[in-house]
A and B are shown apart, each in its own frame.
Chain A
Amino acid sequence: MSVSTTRVNGVTVVQVPGELTAENRGAFRDAVLNRLGEGERKFVFDFQGAGYIDSSGLGILVSLARRIREEGGELRLAGLNEDLLTLFQLTRLDAVFQISENRATALGEL
């Protein structure tokens, strides 16, 4: 699985796949860590088009958020649909992540 990343005004936008699960979390992690290793520090994970995430997927997001923070970076999540927002609220992860309504909003906030 290839993970799409783009640079927008100094921010790395990572497209979250339609499903983020134990199957593909490794590829997602590697894509983000590669960008982090190249010196990029501002990230938006764009969930537009993403519809399903399991506890493994949530776990990799928590892990990546920690890594980005440890490197002095910033992360915002954007474009989560109502179902995905529900998961973040049920797990209290909405208190861990900065969540923006959409990509444009997130870019404006970084």
Chain B
Amino acid sequence: MSRGPRRSPDAPRPPPGQETRPFLRLSFASDPAWLRPALELAGGAVRRVGALPPEDDFRFRVALGEVLANAIRHGNGCAPERRVRVRLEAVPGGTVVTVEDEGEGFEPGAVADPTRGRALGRSGGRGLLLVRRLADGVVWESGGRRAVLAFLAGCRSGARSRWSRPAAGR
């Protein structure tokens, strides 16, 4: 797994004076075998720099895992010549993760809600839902080829309290 890919020319740039330095950059071939090592590296780096507290480990890992799996399998179609690039940056109170693939892109808004109707009984289609619900913010850019996820420390620790009330609509 090599480090230090060049930033793509059309990558989003923060306003002047608010630039951040990545604390981890990864670039790897689109092989599902890289998913676990990439997650381990990302999770380890987040813990090392203290970007998120341990109670956020689970949601960070699940959300990032879904985005990486999408990039490898759906974005790049597991084509080994296509790479997945990951950048983790520390921001006040948390971290921003950017995952970019070299595929054809997709329209996130066109993905059906897996919690409604017959979709609830289907075996697939829950990845984007998990990303949206477990990250504190997510945007897809570059036609869906780039996902930018924000995690704020403790922001979803309210997930604990979710157990004290029934799911919406039940």
Query: What residues make up the interface of A, taking CB atoms closer than 8 Å to B?
Result: 21-23, 51-52, 54-56, 58-60, 62-63, 66, 82-83, 85-87, 89-96
Contact = CB atoms under 8 A, between A and B. Distances in A.
Instruction: Give the interface size bracket for B toward A.
Output: 20 to 34
B65 A54 contact: yes
Query: Is the contact region of chain B dominated by helix, strand, or loop, or is it mixed?
Result: helix
Contacts of B126: 55, 58-59, 91
Given A62-B122, A89-B162, A94 B167 contact: yes
Contacts of A66: 121
Contact of A92 (B32, B120, B123, B160): B120
Contacts of B134: 90
B163 A52 contact: no
A55 B115 CA distance: 13
B129 A90 contact: yes
Contacts of B121: 62, 66, 96
